[in-house]
Structure 1
């Protein structure tokens, strides 16, 4: 199966390339494309990390599992996003987390040696790859901030304000399910539902399904500032 160049334009690795330029690259590139049914493991923790994945369609979940059987969702990746770039060139390049198809998905794989060849032939691709790593690092840092942002209510409010800014709207649509959101905040779903109910009763939000309307962003921002002040500015 040949990837759609228009889809690859959404991938940071090919940012700024025209469809024709990507088409030309594909003719020179060694790659594979695989389809995965929903809930299929794409990469298991401990597998050798010797290839870069690009999500062509569907959605994948990256989850760190613990010996107790519980797990924490690290990321959800959509069309155009990459899998495995952060560990591809590590000395101990084993997959650190399990990657599973959240929905039926298609993934393009490029081997490590092929990537090195491409970087040598096209330094712009290398630049895009490094940018991709940098953006992923920012996301990881943001995840750490969320998990260390104090009380659960503070983490929820912080997340909602961030989404309102990203979506340029006071009505935001969650990018994942309520269960996945709870995992993202490192909490139990009942705890998340209880806090959401409190925020609704305070008149700060309304919600239905995945849509949440922020009714009083000023109060929400004041709350964030008050929590930061109480903790000496430390989240």
Structure 2
């Protein structure tokens, strides 16, 4: 099997499709495969989105930045996955975020008109695309809820509870990355960790964390709701 077809088959966009159906799209669409190095921009905010992007290997992050340079990290996306599906068929098909390679990665670009043509030809593909768009909408709604209603203490508590399977664990990301994700200055994140330490909730040594009072963290995290999940940053 062609390695590219095999990689496409692993994406949720092609869930339930046969290899023959995927090969049919590949032949009709003539996609473009590009490689990006770590920290390289895949796409910039305000760029017109004329292509569906399929992340076949590696990982990317999406950012928003205001005029004052304040950065909000929206999401870390690991392969295989779809990028910017909700933007593609919007009235104003302009990217609202910067997409940056977090690791070396490969991304397949398929033209918008080819995607539309295949949606009309294959109902399973259409349903998968609509499902991905819906998932993105739900993610953004939860992100908005968290930024609007959650305190920084509750957000960090939620993150720790979700990622600490044991009482001793290593933070998956730096506090700088956490600050970008929570859209706050880095010192604000550090202050919350120091408050937790003074209150006897945890002990920290760099990214090494030892939880002393999990119930307090769980009570704080409950303010965001049980259905809220941060996933991977």
TM-score (norm 1): 0.80
Contact 2:73–2:182 (8 Å) recurs in 1:
no
Change (3 A) 1:204 1:91: same
Structure 1 residue 211: deviation in Å? 5.9
Greater CA drift, 195-204 or 219-228: 219-228
Contact 1:158–1:224 (8 Å) recurs in 2:
yes
Aligned mates of 1:30, 1:159 — CA distance in 2: 41
Match of 1:62 in 2: 62
- The gaps in structure 1 that reach 5 residues or longer are 229-235
Structure 1 residue 26: deviation in Å? 3.2
Aligned mates of 1:158, 1:26 — CA distance in 2: 42
1:120-139 aligned at under 5 Å gives the runs 120-139=120-139
Aligned length: 224
Structure 1 residue 201: deviation in Å? 4.1
2:188 counterpart of 1:186 = no
Contact 2:64–2:73 (8 Å) recurs in 1:
yes
Structure 1 residue 223: deviation in Å? 3.5
Structure 1 residue 169: deviation in Å? 5.7
Aligned mates of 1:88, 1:37 — CA distance in 2: 24
1:38-57 aligned at under 5 Å gives the runs 38-57=38-57
1:26-37 aligned at under 5 Å gives the runs 26-37=26-37
- The gaps in structure 2 that reach 5 residues or longer are 226-233
Contact 1:3–1:108 (8 Å) recurs in 2:
no
Structure 1 residue 225: deviation in Å? 5.3
CA shift digits 1:27-50 (9 cap, x unpaired) = 444211101122222111221111
Change (3 A) 1:85 1:195: same
SS of alignment partner, residue 86 of structure 1: helix
RMSD: 2.9
CA shift digits 1:165-215 (9 cap, x unpaired) = xxx666666554321211111111122122113323434335566565544
Of 177, 191, 196, the match for 2:174? 177
Structure 1 residue 79: deviation in Å? 0.7
Greater CA drift, 111-120 or 101-110: 101-110
Aligned mates of 2:54, 2:223 — CA distance in 1: 42
Aligned mates of 2:169, 2:26 — CA distance in 1: 37
Change (3 A) 1:215 1:124: farther
Aligned mates of 1:179, 1:154 — CA distance in 2: 18
Flag the structure with more relative contact order, 1 or 2, with Cα contacts below 8 A and sequence separation at least 6.
2
